[in-house]
Structures are given as C-alpha cells and as structure tokens.
Amino acid sequence: MVIVYKMRNTAYKTLDNVTHIVYNITQQKMNEVFTMFDNRLKELRQKRKLNMKQAAQQLGIPYTTYVGYEKNEREPNSEVLLQLANFYNCSVDYLLGMTPQINSGEAADEETIFDRFDNIKPLALKKFPMLGEIACGEPIYADEDKETYVMADSDIKADFCLKAKGESMINARIYDGDLVFIKKMPMVENGDIAAVIIEDEATLKRVYYYPEQNKLILNPENSAFDPLVYIGEELNHIHILGKAVFFMSAL
C-alpha cells in the first residue's frame, strides 16, 4: 500500500508539473500574439496618418480604451478585433501576427484605397436604438422595439432612430421607409421637424407652438395632408420626443 501511494503521489506531481509547463507555454504564446497585435495596430494607424485620438473617434470607442490596445494594457475581444480589422482593411490574422499578408492573397505592403485617396475616409459606425415606426401621414401607434439597433455613421448626433411610414413629409425629402434619427429634447424651435407622441401615437411633422394662444400646429410637408392643430387641454396629451437631425434613404 505504501508503494502504491508513493507511485500515485509521484504521478500527481508529474501531472501537475506538465500542466504548469503547458500553461506557461500557452501564456507565453498569448503574450507574443498580443505584443505583435500592439505593433501591427500602431503600424496600421500610422500608415493611415492618424493619431490615437483620431483613430478612437473614427472607430467610435473611448480614447483610453484604444490607447490600452496599443500599449498592451488591454486585450480586445473577438468583436473588437473584427471591428479593427474592418477599419484598417486587413484580416484578423494579420492583426494578431499570424500572417505577413494584410489580406488573403494581398501583399503586406500593398496600399489600401484609403492610402491612395485623401478624400476617401473609413466610416466609423455607431449603434442606434430603433424605436419602431413613425407616421408621415396619420399618427400610428408608437411601438417601441428597444431590442432592434441600426448601425450608422458615428458623426450623427442622435439618440435613437425611427422608420418613416407614409408620404406627408416628402417635400422635406423624407420618404416612406426612410430612417429618421432623433435627438432627444422636450421642445424644439418653430419650424423644426420633430417626432411627436399624441397619446399613444407617434407622428413626424414640422412643429409650430404658440404659447400665447396655447396652440400647437403640426405641419406636414405635402399639400395632400392637412395640418394637425391642438389647443388648450389637448396639449396635455402631446409629448415631443425630440428633433429630427438626420435621415437615411435607400438608393
């Protein structure tokens, strides 16, 4: 029994040593990979003639987070790696130092379209919540679908977006199916296009408010539709979601 115990104890120690060696090798390899990643990330940024602040802004990520990637203080997850690869027009394998080629079948020193043309810039994207549809016609039920998001230019200064439905705003170039981006605010200037909730219904119109008359007019941008006029206590059932600041149309 003593011999068996000693043999078993020796086996456990051997297994523990092997596990420790494998862990150290794996950890060393990971450190090498992310050191290469830091170097490649810096090279790609400098080739694009960007500083770290500009790169972070165009990617739509915090400046300190981006600095952490280049200085080997943070490790990006798979989603961030893909975002960086798309931004710098390279493969994830190239970023991690697993291949000398920027893209498959492409030489490592080949210029990208962003290097050749100063007036073409990569588009940094941001995720905007999609809060359902908004009427460009008769008001429709405000269906807030907070699980849906739209990726759009990070320069758009908006809080959420809605899909236009109807034709009452076509003279403002907002058509059925367009995405309208809204900046949240409780009141807008007269003449601004705004998303307005009327009880449980939403509509997109030009807003004209006359406090001395206690009157609100929601004007369409299509002569086939009549203005919506609310006065007195009717205003208690109206809530402005915010100002329309941008819209996107399909070609």
What is the number of residues in the chain? 251
Structure tokens at 87: 């931004």
The dihedral through the CA atoms of 219, 225, 229, 235 has a sign that is negative
Please indicate whether residue 205 is annotated as part of the active site. yes
Give yes or no for a contact between 89 and 121, defined as CB atoms under 8 angstroms apart.
no
DSSP alpha helices (H): ranges in the chain?
A: 2-47, 52-59, 63-70, 78-87, 92-95, 113-116
**Residues 91/110, Cβ–Cβ less than 8 Å:** no
What token pair was written down for 42? Answer: 């810096």
Q: Is the dihedral of CA 159, 160, 166, 171 positive or negative?
A: positive
- State yes or no: is 168 an active-site residue: yes
Catalytic residue, candidates 165, 168, 183, 243: 168
Q: Which of 165, 183, 205, 243 is catalytic?
A: 205
Q: Closest Cα to residue 122, out of 49, 69, 178? A: 49
Catalytically active residues are: 168, 205
